[in-house]
Amino acid sequence: MHDEIAAQVWGAVSHWVEGRHEESIQTLATLVQKQDPSMMYGVACGIATVAQAALTKMHGHHEHACLWAIKTPDGSRPEDGIPPHHLFAARFIAANLNNDPETALALYQAVYNSEDPDLWSACMHTLLAATGEAVLAATPEGGQ
């Protein structure tokens, strides 16, 4: 079962990289329909692992002294200008890069249990899109 889910995660990211965004989102929607919230956390972690690989390819492997963080161009608080679903994706990926599963789980639970019925879905879509874009940026031939 886990191999099938992993294949679907890879498929969703691959579709995004190939510019087939609707197919990518449909693959994610199929996972949502078939998996419980716990397994969807695993899906989110799988997507973030792909982003981690792409970002590591672009920026190199850093020792434990490195901390990935979210920074705004003007120095303002990220919450003040970044939409929640974009902020979730960035923070979730950063938590995985920082090897911080507690923060990743807390972020996931916060959006999953949000009073906004559309937030979790938007966060998952944005996580998938951000990962696809990271793969494209890390792979010159990614979109070809």
Note whether residue 144 is domain-resident: no
> 19 pLDDT exceeds 80?
yes
Question: What is the spatial distance between Cα 54 and Cα 34, in angstroms, rounded to a whole number?
Answer: 28
What is the average pLDDT across 128-144? 83
| pTM of the full structure | 0.88
Note whether residue 143 is domain-resident: no
Which domain range does residue 9 map to?
2-138
Question: What is the spatial distance between Cα 78 and Cα 97, in angstroms, rounded to a whole number?
Answer: 18
Note whether residue 80 is domain-resident: yes
Number of compact structural domains in the chain: 1
Note whether residue 115 is domain-resident: yes
What is the average pLDDT across 30-43? 92
pLDDT tens per residue across span 53-86 = 998 888 777 666 667 777 778 888 888 888 999 9
Note whether residue 38 is domain-resident: yes
Question: What is the spatial distance between Cα 30 and Cα 21, in angstroms, rounded to a whole number?
Answer: 14
Question: What is the spatial distance between Cα 71 and Cα 110, in angstroms, rounded to a whole number?
Answer: 21
